[in-house]
Amino acid sequence: MGKRLYVGNLSYQTTETELTNLFEGVGPVESANIITDRDTGRSKGFGFVEMSSDQEAEKAISALNGTDFDGRNIVVSEARPQAPRDSRSGGGFGGGGGGGRPPRRDRY
């Protein structure tokens, strides 16, 4: 399995195909994905590329970090593992506290 790379400062118009093509210029790409906003579907301006080997990943970092791509100087680095998320849902009912009475104003 290859090494996953973080790619930041992407243009919001950059496609996954364009990102794949950029990194294939350095070496074989296993996958490329651009992170999008869940509600709007718009790019968040960053993504991840998985190279086929650790050596290819290091070569991609050296060759592409700080270079101009779609008019932006991209950031390429080794991706950090995703932090575990705290599951706070109470049985799948979603968010939120509160409800009930408004706060008392006479205590100020």
Q: What is the pLDDT of residues 10-19, one digit of tens each?
A: 999 999 999 9
Paired residues of 50 in beta bridges: 4, 31
pLDDT at position 84: 86
Beta bridge partners of 72: 69
| Whether 76 contacts 60, CB under 8 Å | yes
**In contact, 50 and 31? CB cutoff 8 Å:** yes
Q: Do 1 and 64 touch, CB atoms closer than 8 A?
A: no
User: What's the CA gap between 42 and 36, in Å, rounded?
Assistant: 5
**Token pair belonging to 48:** 């991840």
* Cα dist from 88 to 21, 95, 99, whole Å: 40, 8, 18
Give CA separation, 86 vs 76, 83, 89, 91, 105, in Å: 28, 9, 9, 14, 33
In the chain the domains, ranked by start, together with CATH numbers, are 4-78 (3.30.70.330)
Structure confidence at residue 103 (pLDDT): 64
pLDDT digits (tens, 9 = 90+) for 17-50: 999 999 999 999 999 999 999 999 999 999 999 9
